[in-house]
A and B are shown apart, each in its own frame.
Chain A
Amino acid sequence: MSQHNRVISKEEEALYDRQIRLWGMEAQSRLRNCSILFVGVKTVTLEACKNLVLGGIGRLSIYDPQPITKLDLETQYYFNESHIGQPKDKVLAEKLAVLNPLVDISAVSSLDDIAGVDLVVSIGRQTMGEWRRKGVKSILADAFGLFGYIFVDCLDSHEYIEEGRVKDPKTGESEVVRSSKVATYKSFEESVKAKVAGGNALRLARKYSPLVFVCQALATMDERVQADSKLAVSQFIKDSLEQRELPQGFVGDELLERVQASWGTEFVPSAAVVGGTLAQEVLKIITLKDMPANNWFTYDGLVSEGIACTL
C-alpha cells in the first residue's frame, strides 16, 4: 500500500455513508490509501475512473498523451470542442477532480516511475508483461461497440477475505462467516497460450463463452493491425482462433460479424457496463474483499451477458 495512511474523516464518513454501509469502514480505509494508474483513455476509462474517484480512492494517475480528436467527442463526454488537440490525460484529470476533491488526480508524463502504484489498468493497449515483471497487479480491459472484456492478473498470490452466510440448522439464524483465501493468477502470456481442453463444442460451452476467445485475440492484436482495416482485424481474429484449435462452429459467424461491426467504435451504455464492472474488480483487488475475477470477463451488450471464466 502507498504511504499515505489517511484515516477516514467525519466529512468522508458522511460522503461515503451509503457505500460504507455496504463494504465497511476497513474497506473504505484501504481505498483511501491506494494508488491506481490508468494507461490509455477511452470511454471505458472515463467510466471506470469516474466510479473509482466517486468511491474515494487515494490517488489516480492517468497516462495517455494522445491528443483528443473529433471522433472522441462522440462518446467521451468529459471532452468538448475546446479540447480538441489537447492531451487526453491532462483534460480527463482536470474533469475528474471536480467529482471528488478528496482524491489526488494527475496526468503522468511517463510510465517509468510507478513507485507506490498498487494496480495498473491498461485500456486497449497491451503492456501486461511489464507490470508483472515489476511485481505490480494489473488489469487489461477494453470496451468497443456493444462488447467489452476485462483480464485480471493479481500475480502469484492474492490474499482476500470471502464473506458468506451460514445458517445454523438448530437456531435457524444466519450468521456472516468470513474466511481468508488465497488465489493464484496467470500472466497474460500464459493465458493466451493456455491449451484449451479439446473435445467438442458441448464440453467447451460448459466452461467458456465463445466471446472470450475473440476478446483474447483482440487483446493480443498489436497496434499495427488495430489501426488497419476492419477486414484485416477480422482476419487476424480468425487466424488466432484457428491457432487455438477450437471445435468447428464454436465461435459462430454471427458473433464474428457483430464483433466486426462493433470494432473501432464506442457506445457509452456498454462502456458504462464494462467500466462499472471494471471499477468493481479494482475495488475487490484494493479492499481485499471477495475474489477478483480469475481471470477473464467478457460482456455482450446485445444480450446483456457478462461472463467470467478462467483461461
Chain B
Amino acid sequence: MRTTEQLTKIFGPEAASRVSNARLLVVGAGGIGCELLKDLSMAGFQHIEAVDLDTIDLSNLNRQFLFQRRHIKRAKAEVAIQAISDFNPGMDVKARQANIKESAVFDVDWFAQFDLVLNALDNLDARRHVNTMCLAAHVPLIESGTAGYLGQVTVIVGGVTECFECHPKPVERKTYPICTIRSTPSAPIHCIVWAKNYLFAQLFGESGESEDMSSAEAEEENMEELKQLQEESKALAKLADAMGSPDFARVVFEKVFADDIARLLSMTEMWQHRQLPTPLSYDELEAEIRPDFDPKSPGTHSALSLADSFALFKYTADQLAQRLLKETSAPETRGSLVFDKDDEDALNFVAATASLRSHVFGIEQTSIFETKAMAGNIIPAIATTNAVVAGMMVTQAVMVVSEQLPKCHTAYVSYNSKRSRSVLSEPLAKPNLLCAVCRRRYLTLRVADLGRTTLGDVVDYLHMLAETENNLFLGEDISVVEGSRILYDLDFEDNMAKTLEELDLGRGKMITIAREDLNYSDDELEMLPVAATVPVVLSIAGPRAQDGEQALDIDIEGFGSIPEFAPLPPRSVDAAPGGDDAEEDHLVFVEDDVAVVVGDSDDEVEEIGHTEHVDALSDDLSKRRLSDICDANCVKRRAVETGSGSADGGSEDVC
C-alpha cells in the first residue's frame, strides 16, 4: 500500500482520514473512468467499486490507458480495477460488469452503502438514472462529461445543489420527420438514418414494427401515404425471408432502389419543387462492378462511386445473411442483429445503401469514415481532456468526503477560445424550486412480503403516519403514481386490494405520492408546512435484516435524511423552465451532453454551446475578480488608515 504523507500535508489529517475511509462508487470505466480510477487510488481512496457494462475495443486504447491490446473484448470494469490494484495493492476494490440501470440489483439500499458516487458515463439516460438513485439514497454525486476538447465537472447534493435534471438537457438524438427519411431525403444524414433504422433494421433486425413507423403514425397527416409506407415496410420485412436464396441481394435492391422509387415518382405533387429521384438498375450496376474493387477493404476516406457502392452492398448483404442463417436453420427462428458501428459488415452495408440512396436522390455522398461517425454517434475523444476532467473530479471528491462542500464548484474545460481561461469554475447552483426530480422527499418503503401487502395497506400506512412525529402532511386527498401510470387517487380505488407484486411494484421500483388538494390560494398554502408541497417518493425495498426480530410488514424509513426545502415562489411568478420546449429544439446532439442549448423553436437553432457559456462565464469571472481585489484592497487601506481592524470608515475608494 502506498503511503499518503503528502495528502495529509496538503489537506490535513482529518481530510486524509476521511479519504481513506470513504466508500466510493465509480459508474463507467471508459475514457473518464480509467483516469478517474487512477486518480482516486493515487489520492488515497481505498474503497472503490466500479460498474461498467462495456467491453474493451481497439479504438478505446488511444485514451483508456489502463487497457492494452491483450485486454480487447474483456470487461472494462474488471480490467480497470485489476490495473489500479496493481498500481496500489491492498485496496478494497470491486468490479462489476453490469448495467447500472438494473434497479432490482442496484437498488436504493445498494447505492446507500456508498459515501460518494462518481459518474464517468457517456449517455444522458444513465446519468438521469444515477441522479435519481443518488437523490433517493441521499448520496452525493460528482457528475462529469467530455466531448473532444471540452469537459465539465459538477457536484450534486440533493436539496442543497442543482440536480442533473433541474434544467432541461438538450434532446439526445434528433428525430427526423418520417417523410424526410422515407420519401424526400435531402441530406446525407437522412440516407444514413434510412439505411440504418429502416433498411438494416427491417432486414436484419428483430421482427416487429421498425422504430420509424410508430412515430410516423403520430406525424403523417396523409393517411394514404401512411398506409403506403406501412405496406412498404411489411413488404421489405417479408423479403428477409429470401435470405437463403442467391437472389436475396437482387430482390432487396429492386424493391428499395427501383420499385419504391418508381412509386414515389408517381406522386407528382411531391416533386414539383424538388429534384426527381432516379431509380437504379440492378443489372446495369452489376455490369459496372470494378474487377479490382475489394469489398473487404473499401476505401474509407473518400465517397463511394455508384458501382463501388453497389458492389459493397451485394457483398455485405450476403455476408450478413450468411451470418444470420448460420445461427439457425429454420426461417421462423432466424437470429437478428443490432447495428453496431464496429461491426464492419453492418457498417459497410449501411454505408453502401446510404450511398446508393444518395445517388438516387442526387445528394452528396459521404465516405465510410464520415458515415461511421453519423451512424454510430461517435464523439471524438482524446486522452488529455479526460485526464483534466478526472483530475478535477478527484479534488472535488476530497472536498465532498471531508465535508467541505462550500469549496466545491462546477468546473469547465474549454479550448482555444480567445479568452485566457481554459479551466474555469462557477459556484454550484441551488436546486430549481420546481424540479420534478429533486424537489421530492425520498424515503424507502420496506415491505416484508410483496405478495401479501396491498396498495391499500400502503395507503393506510401513509395515513397512519399523520398521527405520528413522522407526519408527511399528505392529507386525505393523495395520488399514487408509478412511472406514467396512476395507481390510486380518490376517484380510482380499483387497485387498493391488489398486492404490490400483482401491481408489478417490485424491489427497485419507485412510487410517487402527492397531495391532490394544493389548489389553495397563496394564503391557505402558507398555513401548510413547506414539506406538504413536496411530493414523496418511496423506493421499494426489502426488509432490513433484524437480529431475531420479525421484519415489519410495512416500514417507511429515511425521515432523517430529507433535506430542507425552500418554499415555492408565489404562484404569479413564472418560475419553471419549460421542459416541453425541449421537443422544439432541433438539434443534432449526440450522446454526450456538454453543451447547453437554447432553441429558437421556429427556424434557426441558436446553439449557446459550451464554448459560449464558458466565454460568458470567463467575462463574468474577470469582473468578479476585479471587484474581489478592489474590495479587498479598499478594505485593507481603510483598515490601515483608521488603525482598526474593521472595514468601516468614511474614506473614499481610492481605486
Contacts and interface: CB of A to CB of B under 8 A. Distances in A.
Partners in one complex: yes
A276 interface: yes
B62 interface: yes
A272 B633 contact: no
Contacts of B107: none
A231 interface: no
A146 B395 contact: yes
Nearest to A248: B633
Interface string B403-429: 000010101000110001111110000
Contact of A266 (B6, B149, B622): B6
A279 B382 CA distance: 11
Contact of A18 (B9, B381, B391): B381
A17 B59 contact: yes
A197 interface: no
A225 interface: no
B573 interface: no
B39 A21 contact: no
Interface string A272-307: 110111011001000000110000010101111111
B149 A305 contact: no
Interface residues of A, number: 70
Interface string B1-25: 0111111011000000000000000
Interface stretch (B203-211, B282-290, B536-544, B623-631): B623-631
Given A77-B42, A249-B632, A265-B9, A276 B387 contact: yes
A99 B68 contact: yes
A50 interface: yes
A73 interface: yes
A304 B392 contact: yes
B636 interface: yes
Contacts of B610: none
A269 interface: yes
A202 B626 contact: yes
Contacts of A276: 383-388, 391
Nearest to B408: A304
Contacts of B383: 50-51, 54-55, 276, 279
Contacts of A75: 6, 42
B388 A18 contact: no
Interface centre among A71, A77, A272, A307 (most CB of B within 10 A): A272
Interface centre among B411, B422, B423, B630 (most CB of A within 10 A): B423
Interface in A82-123: 98-100
Given A17-B59, A272-B39, A297-B422, A267 B382 contact: no
A98 B43 CA distance: 23
Contacts of B7: 74, 267
A98 B62 contact: no
Nearest to A18: B381
Contacts of A280: 149, 384, 415
B165 to A, nearest CB: 24
A19 B382 CA distance: 6
B604 A54 contact: no
B35 interface: yes
B409 A303 contact: yes
Contacts of A25: 301
B382 A205 contact: no
B401 interface: no
A205 B625 contact: yes
A183 interface: no
Given A277-B423, A279-B384, A304-B409, A269 B39 contact: yes
Contacts of B65: 50, 54, 99
A291 to B, nearest CB: 8
A280 B148 CA distance: 12
B293 interface: no
Contacts of A73: 2-3
Interface string A196-229: 0000111001100000000000000000000000
A201 B633 contact: yes
Contact of A269 (B58, B63, B392, B655): B392
B576 interface: no
B448 interface: no
A50 B415 CA distance: 20
Interface centre among B10, B149, B415, B632 (most CB of A within 10 A): B10
Interface string B40-84: 001100000000000000110111010010000000000000000
B378 interface: yes
Interface string B594-625: 00000000001000000000000000001001
A268 interface: yes
B72 to A, nearest CB: 11
B380 interface: yes
Contacts of B68: 98-99
A269 B395 contact: yes
A47 B388 CA distance: 10
A18 B380 contact: yes
A29 to B, nearest CB: 13
Contact of A268 (B38, B385, B424, B425): B38
Contacts of B379: 18
Contacts of A205: 625-626, 629
A309 B62 contact: no
Contact of A267 (B6, B378, B381, B604): B6
Interface of B: 2-7, 9-10, 35, 38-39, 42-43, 58-59, 61-63, 65, 68, 87-88, 148-149, 153, 300-301, 373, 378-388, 390-395, 407, 409, 411, 415-416, 420-425, 604, 622, 625-626, 629-630, 632-633, 636, 655
29 contacts: A16-B62, A18-B381, A54-B65, A55-B383, A71-B6, A74-B5, A100-B61, A145-B6, A202-B655, A206-B626, A247-B633, A261-B10, A265-B6, A266-B6, A267-B7, A269-B39, A272-B387, A279-B383, A280-B149, A283-B384, A297-B422, A301-B391, A304-B411, A306-B421, A307-B420, A307-B422, A307-B423, A308-B420, A309-B420
Given A18-B379, A279-B384, 13 more contacts: A21-B378, A50-B387, A51-B387, A74-B7, A100-B61, A200-B633, A201-B655, A248-B636, A268-B391, A291-B416, A304-B153, A304-B392, A307-B422
Q: Closest 8 CB pairs between A and B? A: A306-B423, A272-B391, A22-B380, A276-B387, A304-B411, A269-B394, A276-B388, A268-B42
